[in-house]
Structure formats: structure tokens, C-alpha cells
Amino acid sequence: MEAWLDKLKFNEQGLIPAIIVDHVQGDVLMLAYMSRESLLETLRKGTTCFWSRSREKLWTKGETSGHLQKVREIIADCDWDTLLVRVEQVGGIACHTGRRSCFHNVVKIRKVD
């Protein structure tokens, strides 16, 4: 097994946040959580698999919609407690609302002088 897996710091629920970004444009597509099991499944299949906190089970992104995320690279942050997952977003839709990104609700825009 990969030595870096043992360096990861999962929280008290056994989860680690995963920031999902487009591997070409760098756009943030979504934030999800991975368990060790879902991370191993992601590595095995080459597509993202997460732990659904609401359903309390493994969830392969795109398994029903067809909007899979093909993993291109996984990077751990400096503290080994967050993952950055660079993906090819199949179909261009990452959000369950049908949008490209889950981040589309503008809360505040800072004016630049």
C-alpha cells in the first residue's frame, strides 16, 4: 500500500475533506468527504467515490447521472488533513442542481477601489 495513505489525518468521524477541481481550468467544482474506504475505491476505479454523510454510505459521483469524475491527480495539503482532487468532469456538470460547480451562490462581492 502507498505510504502516503498512512500520513492522512481523518477526522473523528473517519472522514477527510476533498476539494474537487477541474484538472484543466482549475475551477472548484465541489467539496465532498472521503473515508479511507472511499479513497481506496477512488484509487481502484479511477473515478471519485465519497462518503455520503446524509445517506451514511459510499457514493460514487455520477453513478446515477452519468457525470463521473475521472481522477487525474490527488494532492494532500501540508497538514495531510485535506485532499485536492484534480478531475476530468464528464458531461461538464458536478452539482446536483445541474450546474458545472456547486459554488454558484454569491454571498458578497468586495468592491475594489
Question: How many residues in the chain?
Answer: 113
Compute the distance between CA of residue 18 and CA of residue 84 in angstroms, rounded to an integer: 6
Confidence at 1, pLDDT banded by 50, 70, 90: low
Higher pLDDT, 111 or 78: 78
pLDDT (0 to 100) of residue 112: 82
Residue 55 to residues 58, 72, 90, Cα–Cα distance (Å): 8, 27, 24
pLDDT tens-digit series, residues 3-38? 899 999 999 999 999 999 999 999 999 999 999 999
Is the pLDDT confidence value at 109 over 70?
A: yes
